[in-house]
């Protein structure tokens, strides 16, 4: 085999190896980009869930306060109702 053919064969093999490495790096970069996007989505969803949980807790707190107010009003109404009921007076004639 003449020297030029050996050099050409080696160059082709080196180009094939380099091309394979390039393809592998591109694949890795795509996976890294996908992982970064998935991680960003996860972070966004965690923030949404946390803010939703906080909003739900705040709403629950408001509902508890409203229930307490309503219970207090019911007690007041019941007490007022009991006070306004006068005993019937029976006249013995």
Question: Going residue by residue through the chain (93 aa), what tens digit of pLDDT does each one get?
Answer: 678 888 889 999 999 999 999 999 999 999 999 999 999 999 999 999 999 999 999 999 999 999 999 999 999 999 888 888 755 555 565
The whole-model pTM stands at 0.49
CA–CA gap between residue 34 and residue 27 (Å, rounded): 11
Q: Is the dihedral of CA 25, 27, 33, 39 positive or negative?
A: negative
Structure token digits, residue 80 = 């007022």
Q: Which residue has the tokens 């082709």?
A: 12
Backbone angles phi, psi at 86, to 5 degrees: -90, 145
């Amino acid at each position: 085999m003449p020297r030029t053919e050996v050099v050409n064969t080696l160059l082709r093999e080196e180009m094939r190896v380099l091309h394979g490495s390039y393809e592998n790096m591109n694949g890795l970069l795509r996976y890294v980009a996908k992982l970064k996007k998935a991680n960003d989505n996860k972070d966004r969803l965690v923030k949404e869930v946390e803010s939703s949980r906080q909003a739900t807790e705040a709403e629950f707190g408001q509902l508890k306060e409203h229930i307490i107010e309503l219970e207090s009003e019911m007690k007041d109404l019941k007490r007022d109702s009991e006070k306004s009921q006068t005993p019937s007076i029976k006249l013995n004639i």
